[in-house]
Amino acid sequence: MITPIEGFSKLTKEEKINWIAANYTTNPENTKAFLKVYWNSDLQLQKLHDEFIENTISNYYLPLGIAPNFLINNKLYAIPMAIEESSVVAAASKAAKFWLGRGGFKTTVLGTEKVGQVHFIYTGDAKKLERFFILIKPVLFSETAELTASMKKRGGGITKIELRNKTNELANYYQLHCTFETLDAMGANFINSCLEQFAKTLKKEALLFSAFDATEKNIEIVMSILSNYVPNCLVRAEVSCKIEELQENPNISSEKLAQKIVQAVTIAKVEPYRAVTHNKGIMNGIDAVILATGNDFRAIEAGIHAYASRSGSYTSLTDASIENGIFKFWIEIPMALGTVGGLTNLHPLVKIALEILQKPTAEELMQIVAVAGLAQNFAALRSLVTTGIQEGHMKMHLLNILNQLGATETEKEQLTTYFKTHTVTHSAVASAYNKLKND
Residue 86: the pLDDT is: 86
Q: Are residues 246 and 351 in the same domain?
A: yes
| Pair type for strands 157-165 and 114-121 | unpaired
Residue 389: predicted pLDDT = 58
Could you write out the DSSP letters of every residue in 202-228?
HHHHHHH-TTS-HHHH--EEEEEEEES
**What is the tens place of the pLDDT at every residue in 209-243?**
999 999 999 999 999 999 999 999 999 999 999 99
Residue 264 phi, psi (nearest 5): -60, -40
Domain assignment present for 58:
no
Last residue in a domain, options 187, 210, 227: 227
From 280, 305, 328, 351, the catalytic residue? 280
Expressed in angstroms, the distance from the first to the final Cα of the chain is 49
Bridge partners for 114 per DSSP? 180
Q: Give the pLDDT of residue 323.
A: 97
Check residue 388 and give its pLDDT.
67
Residues 83 and 103 in one domain: yes
pLDDT of 257: 94
Distance in angstroms (rounded) separating the CA atoms of residues 89 and 80: 9
The identity of residue 43, as a single letter, is L
The total domain count for the chain is 4
Between CA 301 and CA 246 the distance in angstroms is 30
In a domain, 59, yes or no: no
CB-count burial class (<10 Å; 0-12, 13-18, 19+) for 193: middle
Question: What one-character DSSP code corresponds to residue 310?
Answer: T
Active site residue 216: no
Query: In Å, how far are 58, 73, 273, 311, 369 from 284, measured between CA atoms?
Result: 26, 22, 17, 23, 11
292 contacts 353 by C-beta, under 8 angstroms: yes
Contacts of 311 (CB under 8 A, 6+ apart): none
Among residues 181, 205, 296, 364, which one is catalytic?
Answer: 296
Length of the chain as a residue count: 439
User: Residue 277 in contact with residue 316, Cβ under 8 Å?
Assistant: no
Residue 333: strand, helix, or coil: strand
305 catalytic, yes or no? no
State the Cα–Cα distance between residues 110 and 333, nearest whole angstrom.
10
- Of the candidates 16, 94, 393, 395, the residue annotated as catalytic is 393
Confirm whether 331 is domain-assigned.
Answer: yes
Active site residue 280: yes
Q: Is residue 244 part of a domain?
A: yes
Q: Average pLDDT per run of 10 along the chain, which is 439 residues long?
A: 92 96 96 94 92 95 97 98 94 97 97 98 97 98 97 97 98 98 95 98 97 96 98 98 86 92 98 98 98 97 98 98 98 96 89 97 98 97 81 64 83 78 79 78
- Clarify whether residues 274 and 144 are in a common domain: no
Residue 152 lies in a domain: yes
User: Rounded distance, CA 136 to CA 133, Å?
Assistant: 5
CA angle 243–244–250, rounded 5-degree value: 120
- Catalytic annotation on 49? no
Tell me what pLDDT residue 179 has: 98
| Contact call for residues 28 and 21 (beta carbons, < 8 A) | yes
**Residue 56 belongs to a domain:** no
**268-296 core/surface letters (b: 16 or more CB in 10 A; e: else):** bbeeeebbeebbebbbbbbbbbbbbbbbb
Q: Give all strands of the β-sheet with 106-109 in edge-to-edge order.
A: 106-109, 234-242, 326-334, 318-323
Domain of residue 223, residue span: 114-227
Last-in-domain residue among 176, 199, 227: 227
> Do residues 207 and 219 make contact, with C-beta atoms less than 8 angstroms apart?
no
Tell whether 339 and 366 lie within a shared domain: yes
| 88 lies in the same domain as 122 | no
Q: How far apart are CA 423 and CA 434, in angstroms?
A: 17
Is residue 270 located within the same domain as residue 365?
Answer: yes
Angle at Cα 15 formed by Cα 13 and Cα 18, nearest 5°? Answer: 110
CA-closest candidate to residue 130, choices 180, 169, 174: 174
Q: Identify the three-state secondary structure at position 34.
A: helix
The most distant pair of C-alpha atoms in the chain lies apart, rounded to whole Å, by 93
pLDDT at 192: 97
Q: Please list, in sequence order, all residues whose beta carbon lies within 8 angstroms of the beta carbon of residue 147, skipping any fewer than 6 positions away.
A: 190, 193, 194, 197
Nearest alpha-carbon partner for 436 in 425, 421, 416, 398:
416
- C-alpha 214/C-alpha 31 separation (Å) is 62
3 lies in some domain: no
DSSP state of 250: T
Alpha-carbon distance of 350 to 325, in angstroms, equals 42
Same domain, 74 and 127: no
Q: What is the pTM of this model?
A: 0.89
Q: What is the pLDDT of residues 342-387, one digit of tens each?
A: 888 899 999 999 999 999 999 999 999 999 999 999 999 999 998 7
